[in-house]
Amino acid sequence: MTGTLRNPVSQELGPDQLLEAYRMMRTIRDFEERVHEEFAGGDIPGFVHLYAGEEASAAGVCLHLDDRDAIASTHRGHGHCIAKGVDVLGMMAEIYGKSTGSCKGKGGSMHIADLSKGMLGANGIVGGGPPLICGRALASKQLGTGGVAVAFFGDGASNQGTTLESLNLATVWNLPAIFVAENNGYAEATSSTWSVATDDIADRAAAFGMPGVIVDGFDFFAVHEAAGEAVARAREGGGPTLIEVKFTRYFGHFEGDQQLYRGDEVAQARDKLDCLKRFRARVTESGQLTTDQLDTIDAEVAALIDRSVAEAKAAPKPAAAELLTDVYVSY
């Protein structure tokens, strides 16, 4: 059942959707590049894992989703949050640990969530999300909302028992779930060519009785098409799908990672494969969008990111009383 898609087409995407896709990916890219700079400046505490390079996956999947739908993310979750509509200003403030953050500064980069948007959280536990997504898909099915649930996870999590159990459960319960394996080549510093026993993660779909597809993760249109098929199948009661998205991340596992284990794939990817460059070239060459339209988005996004950083830096830290709130009981 595993296979690559035929040459993807994007005819169903109108100009507004293309602009939305581009804005989404540009926002993720600029957000991550800026966090990279700001982290180096020493203002951002803790652990930060950046999604730059992988934008086409979050955007290609989430453009199919609406308020009925839920996603679970990973430690590398900023892109998924943005693609699912989490407020960028709140996200940046959260990363700075400020009271105006998405989680009032109590979650941080690895736990940004907005359940009102169906975003179940970035997740500090590798493989933490897939079981939760089975539950969200079950809830949609039981309550008849028509919603689907998407688990984003990495090549590292593809080797976790939680993920494999969830793939099985999703088929056994015939859940409206989509499993998106984002294979960026490395689980921390370990190559997925070594740590994943099969040639491709998508090969594992057959073992769990679901379709598995491999897509070029630098190609927004490829991801969008594969996700569209999977989401439609799930909404129609056809059960889960495993999509393997292949690409590389532009930064290290975490900010501060010297990346001594890597080759020169980032420079090559940025130059030749980059999802934003390819998107721009494709939609302008086809005449679907103009360079001016895209440049306008670039300027708007740049202003938004500037504002998010300025506001985050200016915002107050959580008050001391917040230490003891949001738990059910204090001793």
Q: Does 329 bind another protein (CB under 8 A)?
A: yes
Q: Does 270 bind another protein (CB under 8 A)?
A: no
The span from the CA of 102 to the CA of 167, in Å, is 30
Q: Does 237 bind another protein (CB under 8 A)?
A: no
Q: Does 11 bind another protein (CB under 8 A)?
A: no
- Taking every pair of Cα atoms in the chain, the longest distance, rounded to a whole number of angstroms, is 64
The span from the CA of 179 to the CA of 205, in Å, is 10
256 half-sphere exposure, CB direction, 13 A CA radius: 9
Interface residue with another protein, options 2, 109, 140, 248 (CB under 8 A): 140
Structure tokens at 133: 């997504």
Q: Kindly state the smallest distance separating residue 142's Cβ from another protein, in Å.
A: 6
Q: Does 74 bind another protein (CB under 8 A)?
A: no
Interface residue with another protein, options 60, 130, 154, 176 (CB under 8 A): 130
Amino acid at 73: S
Q: Does 70 bind another protein (CB under 8 A)?
A: yes
Q: Under 8 Å CB-to-CB from 284, ≥6 apart: which residues?
A: 290, 291, 294
Q: Kindly state the smallest distance separating residue 212's Cβ from another protein, in Å.
A: 18
> What does the DSSP assignment read for 144-162?
T----EEEEEETTGGGSHH
The span from the CA of 165 to the CA of 161, in Å, is 6
Residues forming a β-bridge with 201: none
Q: Does 239 bind another protein (CB under 8 A)?
A: no
Using the minimum distance from each CB to another protein, give the nearer residue, 177 or 187. 177
Using the minimum distance from each CB to another protein, give the nearer residue, 169 or 309. 169
The span from the CA of 255 to the CA of 318, in Å, is 24
Q: Does 288 bind another protein (CB under 8 A)?
A: no
Q: Which of residues 154-193 bind another protein (CB under 8 A)?
A: 161-162, 165-166, 168-169, 172-173
Among 292, 306, 254, 305, residue whose Cα is nearest residue 28: 305
Q: Does 230 bind another protein (CB under 8 A)?
A: no
The span from the first CA to the last CA of the chain, in angstroms, equals: 55
Q: Kindly state the smallest distance separating residue 150's Cβ from another protein, in Å.
A: 12
Among 128, 144, 139, 29, residue whose Cα is nearest residue 88: 29
Using the minimum distance from each CB to another protein, give the nearer residue, 118 or 212. 118
Distance of CA 314 to the CA centre of its chain: 28
Q: Kindly state the smallest distance separating residue 44's Cβ from another protein, in Å.
A: 18
- Contact pattern for another protein over residues 108 through 127, marking x by CB under 8 A: ---x-xxxx---xx-xxx--
Q: Kindly state the smallest distance separating residue 178's Cβ from another protein, in Å.
A: 14
Q: Kindly state the smallest distance separating residue 173's Cβ from another protein, in Å.
A: 7
The answer to whether the CB of 177 falls within 8 A of the CB of 234 is yes
The residues that touch another protein, with contacts defined as CB under 8 A, are 70, 72, 101-107, 111, 113-116, 120-121, 123-125, 128, 130-136, 138-140, 142-143, 145, 147, 149, 161-162, 165-166, 168-169, 172-173, 325-329, 331
